[in-house]
Structure 1
Amino acid sequence: MKKLLLIIGAFMLSGFVVKAQPSRVDKPTEWAPNTTVLVSPNQQYRLSYQGDGNLVVYDKSNSPLWDAKTYGTAPSKLVFQGDGNLVLYGANNSVFWASYSHNKGGISLRLSDDGILSVWDDKNSIWSTVIPSRVDKPTEWTPNTTVLLSTNKQFRLSYQGDGNLVVYDKSNKPLWDARTCGTAPNKLVFQGDGNLVLYGANNSVFWASYSHNKGGISLRLSDDGILSVWDDKNSIWSTVIPSRVDKPTEWTPNTTVLVSPNKLYRLSYQGDGNLVVYDNSNKPLWDAKTYGTAPNKLVFQGDGNLVLYGVNNSVFWASYSHNKGGISLRLNDQGSLSIWAPPSRDNNPFIAQRINKDELLKGLIGEWRGSDINRNEINIVFTADKAVFTMTDMRMQKRIVAEMTYTVNANDMRNPYLILDFSYKDKSGAISKLSMFIMTNEVCKFAFLKQETPVSAEIKDLYEQTDMRTDISCIWHTGFEGVTKLNELYLKKYIVPKYKVGDRGPGGGWIFYDKGDYTDGWRYLEAGPEDLGTLPWALNTRNLITTANRTALGTGKANTIEISNGYYCDRFYTTAARVCAEYQSGGKGGWYLPSIDELDLMYVNLVQNLNVGNFDRKLGSYHWSSTIVSKDARYAQYINFKNGGHSNTWIEYKCTVRPIRAFSDLQDW
């Protein structure tokens, strides 16, 4: 024992003293980067000011419990100031982060035995890293604050420095946001009247929950990531998105209007003016084709009409379902958007209308031909069990003859639909069999396909079963898109390709790929007629988009949509994906930033093989793709059009942008 004391004493005399870090400081103090600022009294937690600029609370296993999210800044100093504020400064005293606890009597900075960092006045904590799951009184927050943290610690509500209010899950995936990114933030207030409001300068309102004067007393973030305002018993507002609305409702742009019950489909009213149904892979299934309009509001009206309005109440699109009893707008589990009326008293519409099966079939065949039926000559001859129709394409003078045999199963007229069993043979002799369920009333027809015998993959993909099959009260729906697809499937068997690689396309650019079929609604890829400048891929890199990693042909559009939606703040700047998405040429929209495989094929077919397209081929002519580097979303892939070389660079770097579009020549019929 005496020997041990001698050793300890020797270390002290020689100056090798192990100095414990304090658990609190009670006076203004300053720290340089790469410093352990505080250590809890039980030695289980530490507060570290790192060399990468971040301020982090770690536990004993080095797991981070809280951080200031200032990673990657140029650090200068951390200061606990005399006014009670804890501030991270950069060069020239620029502020990267602050606790905003100034002028509240703060005199002490502490790290507790449960890992909580806090600022205290002489009696109480005035700021801490403890984040509640609910607040039950009027409260105000400044930017760069985590407002709420769910009880299970899986979700957080963040009021960001860019002005946006966002619910994130534990993986930092945004689940909901107020779409206020890029505003000049001032404060977030949960008011005494129950309203949650984002204010800018001069108390201008950027966003509100509009839950005022409804008895709201509590703001909560649940264990499933739902933000809500409650009265004493019930939720009066929340970020839960319904699958249906049953009363007149109005939405502003940049809103998810409906989400299907199975969460696989959503209806989005976009900032570009378009109304789109997406699946969970962000593939668009239907849209109102109003992209590029000046959006104002989407209204499900009291007369049952769904309308997209612009300024001065100009109408860009409508469902034209007004005055037909519509009371409910729904998005079902198959991605079909529809408007419903109460069931008719006469649930036997076929007897009531005395539908003639031949007239019904004529009408359907007419719809199969599409809206431009007047460009073709169609002759149909009916017999008792057969329809033979001949169509002459007026553009190509190509005569098409096909035959369908059919039977009508309408014996049980209590069911609100007919079944037509088709067996059809094309001119090559191939036979396919399928059943078509047809539902009709005075305002709509709907058909979907059911496989009866092995048929082509394209027809199999058209199988679509919806809840409209058994309820006649649907008065409008997006199901007509299925009829258009059937038209394309039939015609593709006979049509000679309209374009070849190197031809000028309908958008004024150059065709660089012919897929040879019409799967996924497109056949050709067209490069735009011009470069759109040398631009950054993205600018707001606070929350990196990790899913824009598709490489294959036809996937650049999905990448572009995710980039545009994910880097929402970039809408204020000129970036690669945004200028492509907004581009118009030859009266055509739908342009996007190509995936890496699309970009490579464009280079090989147009530049290397044909030397067409007016491409910049000088040294250093790097062209952006929409594909990120899969292991690091801070980088995106590009191709050097001087030599075809592939590489990647930081997404804020500027590269040349050339848009492309995928299209089907059948769309022009």
Structure 2
Amino acid sequence: MKKIFLILALVITTVSLAQTPEKMSYQAIVRNTDGNLLSEKTVGMQISVLKSTSSGTAIYIETHSVTTNVNGLVTLEIGMGSVVTGDFSVINWGDDKYFIKTETDLEGASNYTISGTSQLLSVPYAFHAKTAGNLKNYKIGDFAHGGVVFWVDETGQHGLVCSKENQSTSVKWFAGTFGKTLAKGNGLYAGKTNNTIIIMSTYAVVGDNGDSYAARLCNELVVSENNNQFGDWYLPSEYELSLMYQNKAEINTTSTANGGENLINDVYWSSTEDSDNTALGFNFSDGQESSILKSFQNRVRAIRSF
């Protein structure tokens, strides 16, 4: 009987913050020893929130029984499992460092044989806001949350920021092969899901071949600001790029004032796939989108939500 295992080394970094409080989304890929995707198989998972260090005290533990999809992908929401100990809703995310530990039983029970731990590189803002005494309202052009604010919601407390720097002046969209990734999202926060899908699909098809590509550059970006680290960056959707274009002047002014650089009047990659072979690019010289071969080299500017 073939042994089966969970791919954790790369995709564990794709833990992403949900827009509603009380939960976070997590995804991973499962393969067998031949490298084939483990499709439509139920696995058992235990999720622990560790405090202070990667071997720190588990202040919250929950379990899940989840089934991989046809591509070997498992998806779950941390905070929505069967609680073993602790209360996810009362965690004070602003008072320490936190780590997510995952343990997996590949036969679907609770004999966990595979584990991995990853630090949350930015404070979950929606969670921390519940314990903050005074909430600040943000506006377009503010330098906050690791970058430059270019969109805010009606409360002024949540929105999107872009990096103060370009992550690349010339990089391809894919990592060595054409093919459908299903990264079709195009709207507010859609880039976050797209980025995860691109990383997962690429890893499933070609593994970690060391190639640089647009979504990977964003996924691996870590920005330090005022003793905080922000690591949940992603490649914007085409719509999110259009919002950046509308506020290009404010972004450029704030970026350069804080040691960054301007958005260039050139094409930037979006995370929105157009076909098996093409993805949407956005031209910051005239505000026009276009469908471009994934092997072409374009610019990248990462964003994150707060």
> Separation in 2 of the partners of 1:506 and 1:661?
9
Counterpart in 2 of 1:660?
A: 303
What does 1:84-163 correspond to in 2, within 5 Å? Answer: none
SS at match of 2:218: helix
> Separation in 1 of the partners of 2:280 and 2:84?
47
Counterpart in 1 of 2:58?
A: 319
SS at match of 1:643: coil
Counterpart in 1 of 2:222?
A: 584
Which residue of 200, 224, 246 corresponds with 1:604? 246
Which residue of 564, 585, 590 corresponds with 2:199? 564
SS at match of 2:217: helix
Counterpart in 2 of 1:532?
A: 167
* Pairwise CA distance, 1:530: 0.9
Counterpart in 2 of 1:501?
A: 140
SS at match of 1:580: helix
Gaps of 5+ in 2: 27-43, 68-75, 96-124, 256-260
What does 1:267-346 correspond to in 2, within 5 Å? Answer: 269=8, 271-274=10-13, 276=15, 285-286=23-24, 315=54, 319=58, 329-331=63-65, 335=77, 336-338=80-82, 340=84
* Pairwise CA distance, 1:371: 5.3
> Separation in 2 of the partners of 1:320 and 1:368?
10
* Pairwise CA distance, 1:329: 3.9
Q: Check 1:337–1:635 CA distance in 2 against 1; reply closer, same or farther (3 A cut).
A: same
Could you say which structure has the greater relative contact order, defined with CA pairs below 8 angstroms and 6 or more residues apart?
2
Q: Check 1:329–1:571 CA distance in 2 against 1; reply closer, same or farther (3 A cut).
A: same
Tell me the amino acid that sits aligned with residue 139 of structure 2: K
Which residue of 272, 295, 301 corresponds with 1:627? 272
Q: Check 1:495–1:537 CA distance in 2 against 1; reply closer, same or farther (3 A cut).
A: same
Residue deviations 1:571-609, cap 9 Å, x none?
3210000110110112211000000011111111124x6
> Separation in 2 of the partners of 1:487 and 1:332?
28
> Separation in 2 of the partners of 1:315 and 1:610?
36
SS at match of 2:244: helix
SS at match of 1:549: coil
> Separation in 2 of the partners of 1:658 and 1:486?
26
Counterpart in 2 of 1:650?
A: 293
* Pairwise CA distance, 1:611: 4.2
* Pairwise CA distance, 1:523: 1.1
With structure 1 as the length reference, what TM-score do the two structures score? 0.30
* Pairwise CA distance, 1:539: 3.0
Task: Report if the CA contact (8 A) 1:557-1:594 is conserved.
Answer: yes
Count matched residues: 229
What does 1:121-520 correspond to in 2, within 5 Å? Answer: 194=1, 196=2, 209=3, 252=6, 254=7, 269=8, 271-274=10-13, 276=15, 285-286=23-24, 315=54, 319=58, 329-331=63-65, 335=77, 336-338=80-82, 340=84, 370=92, 488=129, 495-497=135-137, 499-507=138-146, 509-517=147-155
Tell me the amino acid that sits aligned with residue 660 of structure 1: I
Task: Report if the CA contact (8 A) 1:502-1:511 is conserved.
Answer: yes
Tell me the amino acid that sits aligned with residue 577 of structure 1: A
> Separation in 2 of the partners of 1:513 and 1:648?
25
Task: Report if the CA contact (8 A) 1:555-1:595 is conserved.
Answer: yes
* Pairwise CA distance, 1:552: 0.5
> Separation in 2 of the partners of 1:528 and 1:550?
21
Residue deviations 1:34-56, cap 9 Å, x none?
xxxxxxxxxxxxxxxxxxxxxxx
* Pairwise CA distance, 1:286: 2.3
SS at match of 2:145: coil
Looking at CA atoms only, which structure, 1 or 2, has the larger radius of gyration? Answer: 1
> Separation in 2 of the partners of 1:578 and 1:273?
13
> Separation in 2 of the partners of 1:530 and 1:277?
22
Q: Check 1:641–1:319 CA distance in 2 against 1; reply closer, same or farther (3 A cut).
A: same
Task: Report if the CA contact (8 A) 2:178-2:276 is conserved.
Answer: no
Residue deviations 1:364-394, cap 9 Å, x none?
9xx8694558xxxxxxxxxxxxxxxxxxxxx
> Separation in 1 of the partners of 2:57 and 2:81?
13
Tell me the amino acid that sits aligned with residue 552 of structure 1: G
* Pairwise CA distance, 1:543: 3.6
> Separation in 2 of the partners of 1:275 and 1:617?
28
Task: Report if the CA contact (8 A) 2:11-2:199 is conserved.
Answer: no
Q: Check 1:570–1:599 CA distance in 2 against 1; reply closer, same or farther (3 A cut).
A: farther
Task: Report if the CA contact (8 A) 2:218-2:234 is conserved.
Answer: yes
Q: Check 1:564–1:525 CA distance in 2 against 1; reply closer, same or farther (3 A cut).
A: same
Q: Check 1:307–1:535 CA distance in 2 against 1; reply closer, same or farther (3 A cut).
A: same
User: Percent sequence identity over matched residues?
Assistant: 24
* Pairwise CA distance, 1:647: 1.2
Counterpart in 2 of 1:595?
A: 237
Tell me the amino acid that sits aligned with residue 54 of structure 2: V
Q: Check 1:571–1:486 CA distance in 2 against 1; reply closer, same or farther (3 A cut).
A: closer
Counterpart in 2 of 1:471?
A: none
Which residue of 183, 198, 203 corresponds with 1:548? 183
Q: Check 1:588–1:562 CA distance in 2 against 1; reply closer, same or farther (3 A cut).
A: same
Task: Report if the CA contact (8 A) 1:594-1:659 is conserved.
Answer: yes
SS at match of 1:315: coil
1:617 aligns with 2:264: yes
Task: Report if the CA contact (8 A) 2:237-2:271 is conserved.
Answer: yes
